[in-house]
Structure 1
């Protein structure tokens, strides 16, 4: 299955989330088949990330946005977080600190973009400043409405510097979200996730949907694409994102650097060291 073609938002299209299924199972007969695909794909991601790190010429930025309980943390834990943390880091963006709020809205974001050879995963991102800020009237419309253009320039700058960008919206239904809220409530190990603000956001579901639709429509291009991932089935969410990231990294085609040492000399030194150990 071509997950990129299936879930990419076409540049120029006005996206309508209501028309996109949240319960897709894709090509899989069920959970076990999807999990097997994800496990195999994660192995490929680990190899590609190793080559990317050693090559040191390109970088990858993965942006995750979603309503509460759509599974950003689970996706990171099961799929994206399986890559070597030496070259792959996750950055959760919460409410800005006093210092962060005293700078422009991209200041805290830019510091976390990936260096060459690295991967950055954003758990929420700069898009919060045209989502939460917009829905909750935290700044005037004349302020947040200019940010779409600033975000586009910011991402174009990263691309020009050799960063590949993949942006994922995890598309969950309000019914599934409420069921997951219940599971959190019933599980003491997840009580730390409970937040009255999650329920307040449910009352603004339509406003958030409109804000997401505008962000994905206005900040979308072939080189910085958005993907809408059906997320009611966690196992399909994981498989689809894994498939898209693997395809993108394969297209990046990171190469191992050329050998700059004399292998015969190194082998001779090894043989000498080995011989000394045996004496």
Structure 2
């Protein structure tokens, strides 16, 4: 399957209506990709180990989407087998009083992964040009100014070997309503239900327009967006996992060679010299 159909690069003429949220690219069900999924998870584990060992790059994975698009779920499913020592998931909530006193990217920069590490953002700095714009706390001019700053910020990260991978989890309003109802009716999911989700649904069209503008203005060939059909959870997970693996493999990560002292000790052991007790 060619994932380029979901990739939004520089100067793309994006219209979200052109993407079917229920698309599965001809794959009938998740059983068809179970073997490939296991293989991809193994490749992801290997790439993360190479990333951690080499310390030449960091990887920032940004997940954006409407309520119920599955940002928590995709992080849980895709990254379940990797070493937690080199991975962190960060959820963006309403800014604290201290954060609100700084520029809108201040709290983001503190959470960017170091080289050797991967970080997934559940929502992100993009909220400062999305929800703020939809609810009128900033105007269109300020939103465009922030998106320009975001683009420059991501270019700076890329120049410092921090790979930025961005996913928009695309769902239909019908699918979202189904999930909200499920949360309301299932006692085990009551904790997920937020009445504010119903209020936010009233702004669906405004959000779609804000997302289109944000994606168009910040998609570059070095840091593209990926519009992921997400009405089918299993297909959403598959597209994200495969995209992530393919992008990591493009980095051509390798294990580092031992430095001189370590190499010398290795030679001693090969020669039968025991460094232990006399």
TM-score interval (norm. to shorter): over 0.9
- In structure 2, the partner of 1:97 is 96
- In structure 2, the partner of 1:169 is 168
CA distance in 2, matches of 1:94, 1:267: 54
Q: 1:81 to 1:97 in 2, by over 3 A?
A: farther
Per the alignment, in what secondary structure is the counterpart of residue 137 of structure 2? coil
Could you tell which deviates more after superposition, 262-271 or 238-247? 262-271
Q: How many residues align?
A: 274
- TM-aligned CA deviation for residue 81 of structure 1: 4.2
Per the alignment, in what secondary structure is the counterpart of residue 165 of structure 1? strand
- In structure 2, the partner of 1:87 is 86
CA distance in 1, matches of 2:140, 2:26: 42
CA deviation map 1:197-245 (0-9, x unaligned): 1111111100000000000001110111100000001000000010100
CA deviation map 1:14-63 (0-9, x unaligned): 21111211111225331222344223211110110000000001111110
CA distance in 1, matches of 2:36, 2:191: 32
- In structure 2, the partner of 1:264 is 267
- TM-aligned CA deviation for residue 267 of structure 1: 4.4
CA distance in 2, matches of 1:103, 1:112: 15
- In structure 1, the partner of 2:55 is 56
* Equivalent runs, 1:189-268 vs 2, <5 Å: 189-260=188-259, 261-262=263-264, 263-267=266-270
Q: 1:186 to 1:268 in 2, by over 3 A?
A: farther
- In structure 2, the partner of 1:2 is 2
- TM-aligned CA deviation for residue 189 of structure 1: 2.2
- In structure 2, the partner of 1:38 is 37
Equivalent pair of 2:9/2:223 in contact (CA under 8 Å): no
Stretches of structure 2 lacking an aligned partner (at least 5 in a row): none
Could you tell which deviates more after superposition, 18-27 or 71-80? 18-27
Equivalent pair of 2:91/2:121 in contact (CA under 8 Å): yes
CA distance in 2, matches of 1:112, 1:73: 18
Please, what TM-score do these two structures have when normalized by structure 1? 0.93
Please, what TM-score do these two structures have when normalized by structure 2? 0.93
Stretches of structure 1 lacking an aligned partner (at least 5 in a row): none
CA distance in 1, matches of 2:38, 2:61: 19
- In structure 2, the partner of 1:128 is 127
CA deviation map 1:52-105 (0-9, x unaligned): 000001111110000011111110001034321111111100111111111110
- In structure 2, the partner of 1:154 is 153
Per the alignment, in what secondary structure is the counterpart of residue 265 of structure 1? helix
CA-based RMSD of the aligned residues comes to: 1.7
